[in-house]
């Protein structure tokens, strides 16, 4: 029982959470981290205020319809830093297939998943996030992280052979999301009255799309243990598909639980969109709860600017009323990761 409190994190992380659950182990520190005494959880029933944006309306031939949806988009991203996308053109049956293949992957025997296992200090592959700084908590989750675009970044050794359809579905899904990012990036620019392709240009032709499939095993102590600790993403923005409740977004000191709307995708701003929009859009802190009965699956696609390119606030968003908040930065995702490992945000590094 005392195992977890005496073993270092790198040893703990060499055993998957899923194995611990199968062995009937009780969560121990450093998995135990929740201290919510000062936070307020808004019931799911009242979390429906997380805005919906119908992407099909953004290109409506009726100008007033498109304009109205763009206004909603701008307001959603400046207040929440995220929205629930509908009308995105990806059929629900395909989203179900993605959820299904993700679940099937994790529900295979450990031996099969082990074929694409990462080392405890590596990022890509199946396992847990690399060992965090001392004193940091561990997440009650297992994940597989894959570089998908640019295509030459793919590392076949980490791509599962089973389930047979896994690679095809993940690739197809990421390609569909990539198409969506074009619409979203252009619409975000339009909503701020800046040149339509300005964000797309900053992301660059070698923008990264990375897939992270998460499996949150049931946890006997959801009151003490988190599936994923509070954080903001280091991406440009992230597109999340989920199959059960658990993801919470922090706004005005309260935690709002993302409801399940099977045909919707959550579009969540990362720090780099906050930088490029000169703070007009916010990158929200979010976390994942555990639950005692069901395993939850999610698929996050991180869309990030080419790490070789410098990014910064759009000139058109800097003026007397709104001076420059951020400076130019390069490879921010990497800087972010260093802070993330210490349980901190990195945005201050980019402050002007
Ligand atoms: O599992 C989720 O719903 C969210 C995952 C997430 O926030 C992340 O991978 O950065
Ligand atoms: Fe996240």
- Residue 254 predicted with pLDDT over 60: yes
Atom of ligand 1 nearest to the CA of 298: 1
Composition of the chain by helix, strand, coil, percent to 5: 35, 20, 45
Would you call the peptide bond into 185 cis, given omega within 30 degrees of 0 as the criterion?
Answer: no
- Residue 286 predicted with pLDDT over 70: yes
How far is 46 from 257, CA to CA, in rounded Å?
Answer: 9
User: Concatenated DSSP letters for 144-184?
Assistant: EEEEEESGGG--GGGS---STTHHHHHHHHHHHHHHHHHHH
The answer to which of 98-107, 119-128, 290-299 has the lowest mean pLDDT is 119-128
- How crowded is residue 12: how many other Cβ atoms within 10 Å of its Cβ? 20
Residues 304-350 pLDDT 10s: 999 999 999 999 999 999 999 999 999 999 999 999 999 999 999 99
Q: How far, in Å, from the CA of 10 to the mean position of ligand 2?
A: 22
What would the two tokens of residue 6 be?
Answer: 């005496």
Share of the chain above pLDDT 70, in %: 95
| Most ligand 1 atoms within 8 A of CB, residue of 237, 241, 286 to mutate | 286
Give CA angle at 162 (158, 164), nearest 5°: 120
212 within ligand 1 shell (Cβ under 6 A)? yes
240 within ligand 1 shell (Cβ under 6 A)? yes
300 within ligand 1 shell (Cβ under 6 A)? yes
The pLDDT assigned to 261 comes to 95
| Most ligand 1 atoms within 8 A of CB, residue of 214, 226, 241 to mutate | 214
How far is 143 from 334, CA to CA, in rounded Å?
Answer: 19
- Residue 276 predicted with pLDDT over 80: yes
Share of the chain above pLDDT 90, in %: 84
- Residue 7 predicted with pLDDT over 80: no
247 within ligand 1 shell (Cβ under 6 A)? yes
Nearest ligand, measured from the Cα of 284: 2
| Residue located nearest, by CA, to atom 3 of ligand 1 | 247
**What are the backbone angles phi and psi of residue 44, rounded to the nearest 5°?**
-55, -40
Q: Phi-psi bin for 125: left (phi > 0), alpha (psi -120 to 50), beta?
A: left
- How crowded is residue 95: how many other Cβ atoms within 10 Å of its Cβ? 20
How far is 218 from 254, CA to CA, in rounded Å?
Answer: 24
Atom of ligand 1 nearest to the CA of 216: 1
Mean pLDDT of the chain: 93
- Residue 127 predicted with pLDDT over 70: yes
Residues 43-61 pLDDT 10s: 666 656 899 999 999 988 8
> Which residues have CB under 8 Å from 56's CB, separation 6+?
87, 88, 89
- ipTM of the shown complex: 0.99
pTM of the full structure: 0.95
How far is 120 from 334, CA to CA, in rounded Å?
Answer: 18
What number of residues does the chain have? 352
Residue with tokens 């597109």: 239
The pLDDT assigned to 2 comes to 42
Q: How far, in Å, from the CA of 257 to the mean position of ligand 2?
A: 14
How far is 319 from 15, CA to CA, in rounded Å?
Answer: 52
The pLDDT assigned to 48 comes to 64
Domain 55-350, CATH: 2.60.120.330
The pLDDT assigned to 189 comes to 98
In the chain, where are the structural domains located?
55-350
| Residue located nearest, by CA, to atom 8 of ligand 1 | 300
Nearest ligand, measured from the Cα of 301: 1
């Amino acid at each position: 029982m005392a195992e977890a409190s005496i073993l270092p994190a790198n040893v703990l992380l060499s055993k998957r959470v899923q194995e611990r659950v199968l062995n009937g182990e009780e969560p121990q520190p450093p998995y135990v981290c929740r201290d919510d005494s000062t936070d307020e959880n808004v019931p799911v029933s009242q979390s429906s205020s997380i805005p919906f944006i119908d992407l099909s309306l953004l290109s409506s031939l009726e100008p007033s319809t498109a304009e109205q949806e763009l206004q909603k988009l701008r307001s959603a991203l400046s207040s929440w830093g995220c929205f629930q996308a509908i009308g995105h053109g990806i059929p629900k049956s395909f989203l179900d297939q993605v959820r299904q293949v993700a679940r099937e992957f994790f529900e295979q025997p450990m031996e099969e998943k082990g074929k694409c296992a990462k080392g405890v200090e590596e990022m890509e592959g199946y396992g847990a996030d690399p060992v965090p700084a001392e004193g940091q908590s561990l997440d009650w989750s297992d994940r597989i992280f894959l570089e998908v675009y640019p295509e030459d970044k793919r590392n076949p050794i980490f791509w599962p052979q089973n389930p047979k359809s896994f690679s095809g579905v993940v690739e197809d899904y990421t390609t569909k999301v990539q198409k969506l990012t074009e619409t979203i990036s252009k619409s975000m620019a339009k909503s701020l009255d800046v040149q339509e392709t300005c964000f797309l240009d900053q992301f660059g032709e070698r923008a990264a799309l990375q897939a992270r499939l998460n499996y949150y095993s049931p946890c006997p102590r959801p009151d003490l243990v988190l599936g994923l600790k509070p954080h903001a993403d280091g991406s440009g923005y992230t597109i999340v598909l989920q199959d059960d409740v658990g993801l919470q977004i922090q706004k005005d000191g309260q935690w709002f639980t993302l409801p399940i709307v099977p045909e919707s995708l959550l579009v969540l701003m990362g720090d780099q969109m906050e930088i490029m929009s000169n703070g007009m859009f916010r990158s929200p802190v979010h976390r994942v709860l555990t639950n005692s009965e069901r395993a939850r699956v999610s698929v996050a696609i991180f869309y990030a600017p080419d790490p070789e390119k410098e990014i910064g606030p759009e000139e058109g968003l800097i003026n007397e009323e709104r001076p420059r908040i951020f400076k130019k930065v390069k490879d921010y995702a990497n800087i972010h990761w260093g802070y993330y490992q210490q349980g901190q945000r990195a945005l201050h590094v980019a402050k002007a």
